[in-house]
Amino acid sequence: MIGSIEGVVEFKDNPHVIINVNGVGYRILIPVNLSSKLEIGNKVKVFTHTHVREDILDLYGFAKLEDLKLFEYLISVSGVGPKTALGIFSIGSREEIVNAIIRADDGFFTGVPRLGKKNAQKIIIELKSKLGSIADLDLTGQNSKEHGEIMEALKTFGFTAFEIQKALKETKADGKTAEEKIKLALKYLGK
């Protein structure tokens, strides 16, 4: 369907924004934290999920492709619809959501309207098994072939994708070679 929309912010009314693309205004539901960053009249690009039901067609927009991917993981959980998933993004960033899943913090999710303890636990159980692919989301700002090679090299030592991402983020290895990044990450991880 519609993968992304780039245009000028014409109107904001939380949680909706209207983005004008060549004279056509697209009404998109967005997280509160994104809404606060958008200014009317500014150009913006959002990555979108198209949700179609028999009586409605909604677009959900995110500033980063990684946020969209996590949103789609969330709505894959039975009992979690797109509005609830959007609510989860309104109480925390992608990193905070992933950390809540890793820590099995159902209290984080129950702060969302229409999301009880049972569904919060279901999110944790169902997404923890997919955590490798969620943790592979670009949490460090790196997204390259080299980053993938570093991830694979460190996974051979038995580390999870999340541990590796955290180590790479904490060591601030920007500008270093892949070998230096691996050494720094191993030092951080205690091997």
pLDDT, one tens digit per residue, over 123-140 is 999 998 776 555 444 444
4-62 and 65-134: same fold? no
Distance of alpha carbon 164 from alpha carbon 69, whole angstroms: 20
* Model confidence, pTM: 0.69
Token couple for 9? 């912010």
Separation of alpha carbons 137 and 187, rounded Å: 23
pLDDT digits 0-9 by tens, 73-104: 999 999 999 999 999 998 888 888 988 888 88
**How far is 117 from 132, CA to CA, in rounded Å?**
24
Reported as a single tens digit per residue, the pLDDT across 160-190 is: 767 777 787 777 766 678 888 888 888 888 8
Domain locations in the chain? 4-62, 65-134, 139-189
Span 7-22, mean pLDDT? 94
Q: What is 4-62's CATH superfamily? A: Nucleic acid-binding proteins (2.40.50.140)
CATH 3.30.70.270 fits 65-134, yes or no: no
pLDDT in tens, 47-57: 999 999 889 89
Q: Which residue has the tokens 């990555």?
A: 47
Nearest-10 Cα torsion for 174, 48, 100, 163: -30
